[in-house]
Amino acid sequence: MQSWMPPERGVFVGRQSEVAALTAGLAEHRLVTLVGTGGVGKSRLAARAAGLLPPEAFDSIHWAPLWSLGSRTLLTALVADACELSDHSARDPVDALTARIGTRRVLLVLDSCEHLVAECAELLEVLLARCPSLVVLATSREQLGVAGECLFRVDPLAPDTDGLELLTERARAVGVRWEQPEDRVAAAEVCHWLEGLPLALELAAAQLPDRPVRTMARLLRADSRSRRRPGPPSSRRASGCFAPQSDGAMNCASRMSGSFGHGCRCSARTRPWTRSYGCAAAGR
Ligand SMILES: Nc1ncnc2c1ncn2[C@@H]1O[C@H](COP(=O)(O)OP(=O)(O)OP(=O)(O)O)[C@@H](O)[C@H]1O
Ligand SMILES: [Mg+2]
């Protein structure tokens, strides 16, 4: 199997059950979309799952990062590029791409579709209809709305286990270790306030050389009190009314770092696996 994937950056934490479910899902469905709030780990999970597929699963895997595309103009060209197609003929670009994929068993990963949802949906409808062995794994803050699309919701990491492990790993990468038991307790509190959101945890870890973890926990506690939040996410979860407040987590991390701005919105509130029925275009 040929594979064009981005290199992994830093240790990958947790998500074993998600990777297994996703691998199984890719064997059953032709369009799987990972949906979730910004920074929750959709791209990382997609790369991990695609990288762990057995070699016989596909003839080739292609990664198309869409985040830098400002408009639809270059969408087909970018996907063609990811599929190693350089067509200099007068052919229609979608026709050329269709011919390139043909009947090959291709896994196309479309990363960051949220700003071009309608355009991605339009292109995928054509490609999936014309290329019978094409499978698409998309990441997006919202669903694409293609018939037969399977939505896989990506949640934050569990704060007290995988979240803490990620913060600890990233802290170690910047030369910070938990010297005292109190540091570990404070690190766990940071993870709770940041709700296990991977990007927020990485932003927090990057500040640890200048801001000790106990100070960080204290600031986050004060910050949440000033905004009168009812308590750490774990207690809200225990009381049965927890819903991920990842916008809040990113805002906390942003206020601490003072500069980070991130559009965090997930309009797709789905169960982990959801099938959009209506047409078999993307079904197997
Ligand atoms: N399971 C994980 N283990 C280690 N690092 C992770 C994990 N999940 C996410 N990260 C890291 O957290 C950061 C945010 O993850 P990622 O970019 O995958 O989020 P995203 O949901 O794709 O965000 P966006 O909506 O902005 O595209 C990245 O630096 C990524 O490497
Ligand atoms: Mg992403």
Domain count for the chain: 2
* Spatial contact of 159 and 195, defined as CB atoms under 8 Å apart: yes
* Spatial contact of 154 and 244, defined as CB atoms under 8 Å apart: no
Asked whether residue 47 falls in the same domain as residue 115, the answer is yes
Residue 224 has what pLDDT?
82
Residue 10 has what pLDDT?
86
Asked whether residue 169 falls in the same domain as residue 198, the answer is yes
What is the signed CA dihedral for 150, 153, 154, 157, rounded to 10 degrees? -140
Answer yes or no: is the C-beta of 156 below 6 A from any ligand 1 atom: no
Decide if pLDDT at 226 tops 90. no
In this predicted structure, which of 174-178, 252-256, 266-270 has the lowest mean pLDDT? 266-270
Residue 153 has what pLDDT?
96
Most confident of 90-94, 213-217, 265-269: 213-217
Most confident of 168-172, 222-226, 233-237: 168-172
Asked whether residue 148 falls in the same domain as residue 8, the answer is yes
Residue 164 has what pLDDT?
98
Residue 251 has what pLDDT?
67
Asked whether residue 76 falls in the same domain as residue 16, the answer is yes
Instruction: Please report whether residue 34 resides in a domain.
Output: yes
Decide if pLDDT at 252 tops 90. no
Instruction: Please report whether residue 280 resides in a domain.
Output: no
Instruction: Please report whether residue 124 resides in a domain.
Output: yes
Q: Could you give the CA distance from residue 63 to residue 35 in angstroms, rounded to a whole number?
A: 17
Percent of the chain past pLDDT 90, that is, above it, reads: 68
Where does the pLDDT of residue 228 fall: very low under 50, low under 70, confident under 90, or very high at 90 and above?
low
User: Which has the closest alpha carbon to 149: 136, 159, 158?
Assistant: 136
Asked whether residue 37 falls in the same domain as residue 129, the answer is yes
DSSP state letters, 126-183: HHHHH-TT-EEEEEESS----TTPEEEEPPPPPIIIIIHHHHHHHHHHTT----SHHH
**Structural domain range at position 168:** 159-243
The number of the ligand 1 atom at minimal distance from the alpha carbon of 44 is 18
How many angstroms does the Cα of residue 89 sit away from the middle of ligand 1?
Answer: 38
The number of the ligand 1 atom at minimal distance from the alpha carbon of 46 is 18
Q: For 195-232, b where at least 16 C-beta lie within 10 A, e where not — what string?
A: bbbbbbbbbbbbbbeeeebbebbebbbebbeeeeeeeb
Residue 147 has what pLDDT?
92
Q: Could you give the CA distance from residue 50 to residue 44 in angstroms, rounded to a whole number?
A: 10
**Could you give the 3-state DSSP secondary structure of residue 3?**
strand
Answer yes or no: is the C-beta of 12 below 6 A from any ligand 1 atom: yes
In this predicted structure, which of 78-92, 97-111, 183-197, 255-269 has the lowest mean pLDDT? 255-269
- Give the CATH number, domain containing residue 95: 3.40.50.300
How many angstroms does the Cα of residue 13 sit away from the middle of ligand 1?
Answer: 10
The number of the ligand 1 atom at minimal distance from the alpha carbon of 47 is 18
Instruction: Please report whether residue 254 resides in a domain.
Output: no
Q: Once rounded to an integer, what is the mean pLDDT over residues 122-134?
A: 96
Where does the pLDDT of residue 254 fall: very low under 50, low under 70, confident under 90, or very high at 90 and above?
low
Asked whether residue 38 falls in the same domain as residue 133, the answer is yes
Answer yes or no: is the C-beta of 163 below 6 A from any ligand 1 atom: no
Amino acid identity, position 12:
F
Asked whether residue 22 falls in the same domain as residue 102, the answer is yes
Q: Give nearest CA residue, ligand 1 atom 11.
A: 198
Asked whether residue 143 falls in the same domain as residue 28, the answer is yes
Instruction: Please report whether residue 284 resides in a domain.
Output: no
Residue 223 has what pLDDT?
84
Q: Once rounded to an integer, what is the mean pLDDT over residues 74-103?
A: 90
* Spatial contact of 43 and 112, defined as CB atoms under 8 Å apart: yes
The number of the ligand 1 atom at minimal distance from the alpha carbon of 114 is 25
Report the chain's mean pLDDT, rounded to a whole number. 84
Strand order of the β-sheet with 60-65 is: 2-4, 60-65, 106-111, 135-140, 31-35, 150-153, 273-275
* Spatial contact of 284 and 272, defined as CB atoms under 8 Å apart: no
Asked whether residue 182 falls in the same domain as residue 210, the answer is yes
Asked whether residue 94 falls in the same domain as residue 31, the answer is yes
Q: Once rounded to an integer, what is the mean pLDDT over residues 191-213?
A: 96
The DSSP symbol for 73 reads G
Asked whether residue 125 falls in the same domain as residue 198, the answer is no
Instruction: Please report whether residue 214 resides in a domain.
Output: yes
Q: Could you give the CA distance from residue 102 to residue 99 in angstroms, rounded to a whole number?
A: 5
Q: What is the pTM of this model?
A: 0.84
DSSP state letters, 88-141: -SSS-HHHHHHHHHTTS-EEEEEE--GGGHHHHHHHHHHHHHH-TT-EEEEEES
Asked whether residue 120 falls in the same domain as residue 176, the answer is no
Residue 73 has what pLDDT?
84
Residue 173 burial (CB count, 10 A): 14
Where does the pLDDT of residue 71 fall: very low under 50, low under 70, confident under 90, or very high at 90 and above?
confident
